[in-house]
Amino acid sequence: NKHMVYTKVPIAKAWSNTGRKPIAVRWVDVNKGDDDHPNYRSRLVAKEIKKYSDWSLFTATPPWEAIKLLFSMAVTEGIGWMGDKKKGKKMEIIDVKRAYFYAKSRRNVFIELPKEDHEPGMCGELDKSMYGTRDAAHNWELEYTEFLESIGFKSGNAVTCTFFNKNKNLRLSIHGDDITALGDQASLEWLKKRFQEK
């Protein structure tokens, strides 16, 4: 509800738009703690099964060398400024929570309503991407690429999930919802603020 992931529509709309019934959903519970200190997180996911390979749904992941390069640059440029916190480089990890819910759904996807929101004859039409759909990761990649390009970043030619902002001298490597950033303190603060505003 908070992220307005779906809009309730008649199940007939799913049949008329896709020729099939809505995709089933289920709750996935994960204990991020341990047996003594449980910390359960629950996520509603769609059960859309990948039955074939579709390259249009491909999502880039950075090679390990991209992260190693950022670490190397952090050390050499940080030392080059004699440890000056304002001018020296540092690394920042930004973890976008529930990232897929920030990416709009780019195709007609209909899901069964969870029992907590069930209404007879109705289903959910996705407005945002949902975990468990085939194109959720791809939609997230398109979303962050559009956003980063709108604030002055250029995507890498060889690795499309690496970015550079020449004006801010910021470098990024993105793996899923984890963003590894390299820059000076002011530029990193600027980047975090842009993400928070978005």
Helices assigned H by DSSP within 118-184: 136-150
pLDDT at residue 52, rounded to an integer: 52
The pLDDT value recorded for residue 123 is 97
Q: Which helix (H) or strand (E) holds 154?
A: strand 154-155
Query: pTM for the complete prediction?
Result: 0.85
- What residue type is assigned to position 36 of the chain? D
The pLDDT of residue 81 is above 80: no
Q: What is residue 74's predicted lDDT score, i.e. its pLDDT?
A: 86
- State what percent of residues in the chain have pLDDT above 90: 65
pLDDT of residue 76: 81
Q: What mean pLDDT do residues 129-150 have?
A: 93
Q: What was the pLDDT predicted at 85?
A: 60
Burial per residue of 95-117, b for 16 or more beta-carbon CB atoms within 10 angstroms, e otherwise:
ebeebbbbbebeeebbbbbeeee
Residue 140, pLDDT > 70, answer yes
Across all residues in the chain, what is the average pLDDT?
Answer: 89
Please report the pLDDT score of residue 10 as a whole number.
Answer: 98
Can you tell me the distance from the alpha carbon of 114 to that of 119, in angstroms, rounded to the nearest whole number? 9
Label residue 41 by pLDDT band (50, 70, 90). Answer: confident
Choose the weakest-confidence range: 31-35, 49-53, 109-113, 176-180.
49-53
